[in-house]
Amino acid sequence: MQRSDKYQVQQMGLASNSFSPNEPMSTEKSRHTEDNGTSKQMTQVGVENKSFYEDVQTETVVKPAKEELQNGGPQADGNTGMCETNVDVDADPEPGPAVDAPVSFDPKKRPLLYCKFIVKHYKLAFALTLSGHLIFLVASGIMILAGYSLFPTDFQGVPLNMNNDDTFLREVAWSYRDEEESILKVNTSAEMVGARTKNGDILQIFYQGANVLTKENLQAIKDLEEQMTSKPEWLKFCKQDVKNLQAGCSKPSSLIRFFDGSFHPSLNDPTFSNISGILYTALNIPLLNRTLQALVGTEAVITPTEASTTITRTLFFTGLPLEGYNLTTDSVSDQMTLIQTFLKKENLALQ
């Protein structure tokens, strides 16, 4: 490879290679010495080592001296500059800072003791952390086997702070608009219907106390309902059970229905010997959950072992049309007057 007449790159490693006598080198110049009559040629660094590499050669780049670069060429004294070996001609002459340059930090800021402990005693730290997790797991397993409830959160019921939320109540009312018997439907059609098969007025009786979910209180509620439904006049105003017309009047809506098998055969406890168990079972049945919550107070507590509430109610349903009226739109106001007169009289009698 030629740079100019004066600056050449010589391929090293061949026995016949030598520098021009007109271009003396400042370092590592080829020279001949005599030793005991034997001529030995000293070659430059980078000479071919055929014992290891047969074809690998290195370059020797002849660079002009600094004065020659300033004067625009070689000087008259024949000094062509320095001789460097193994020079990469494409290398950046001014490389940037070292990648592994030291990072400056403030020696006044001491590391946290926790960090120092983790770094110095990482095995001990790992063992302590693992032991803590294992202790929690073993303790949790023992508590579960012992019957302790680690997570007593009840996701079946509604949080107490939502029972008074207007948005929540509107959603419940809309979802159960066709199922709740206590909601009176407006009868706009003049169709022929059976006697007392449509909703009329409702009589509600409330019960309050420290805890109405006791055996004595529930038995008193049951007796009052039987007293009301056994009256002959009640058969003239009660709503018919449209699902079973032969059964006669529909039963009142109250907590007693959870103990007489009306909702499910498994919910049958006429002696009220397992109040908390029956109500907790009903609470976890989606179809009965909202019905139960509508019959107890917002502060009610229902668990497998405890049941308490300060208020409950019974709803008695009347039906339209009454005897002697064929259409639901026939003299509705007269029918409602008859029903309300009866309910007021019975309410006073029950008090």
Nearest-5° angle of CA 332, CA 334, CA 340? 100
Per-residue pLDDT at 77: 47
Per-residue pLDDT at 292: 92
Per-residue pLDDT at 147: 82
The answer on pLDDT for 28 being more than 60 is no
Average confidence (pLDDT) over 247-260: 91
The answer on pLDDT for 51 being more than 80 is no
Determine whether 141 is exposed, middle or buried from the number of CB atoms within 10 Å of its CB (0-12, 13-18, 19+): exposed
Domain ranges within the chain, ordered by starting residue: 9-85, 113-145, 160-350
Distance CA 342, CA 232 (A): 12
pLDDT tens digits along 158-195: 555 566 677 777 877 777 666 655 555 555 554 556 77
pLDDT tier for residue 339 given thresholds of 50, 70 and 90: confident
Average confidence (pLDDT) over 236-240: 89
pLDDT tens digits along 289-321: 889 998 999 899 999 999 999 999 999 999 888
Residue 225 β-bridge partners: none
Average confidence (pLDDT) over 150-165: 64
Q: Which H, E and C letters describe the chain, residue by residue? A: CECCCCCEEEECCCCCCCCCCCCCCCCCCCEEEEECCEEEEECCCCCCCCCCCCCCCCEEEEECCHHHHHHCCCCCCCCCCEEEECCCCCCCCCCCCCCCCCCCCCCCCCCCHHHHHHHHCHHHHHHHHHHHHHHHHHHHHHHHHCCCCCCCCCCCCCCHHHCCCHHHHHHHHHHCCCCCCCCCCCCCCCCECCCCCEEEEEEEEEEECCCCCCHHHHHHHHHHHHHHHCCCCHHHHECECCCCHHHCECCCECHHHHCECCCCCCCECCCCCCHHHHHHHHHCCHHHHHHHHHCECCCCEECCCCEECCEEEEEEEEEECCCCCCECCCCHHHHHHHHHHHHHHHHHHHC
With the CA atoms of 173, 178, 179 and 180 taken in that order, what torsion angle do they form, in degrees rounded to the nearest 10?
A: 50
With a threshold of 0.85, does the pTM exceed it?
no
Most confident of 110-114, 244-248, 287-291, 346-350: 287-291
pLDDT tens digits along 319-335: 888 887 766 566 777 88
Most confident of 8-12, 29-33, 108-112, 115-119: 115-119
Per-residue pLDDT at 7: 42
Closest alpha carbon to 20 in 34, 33, 30, 11: 30
Per-residue pLDDT at 160: 53
The answer on pLDDT for 1 being more than 80 is no
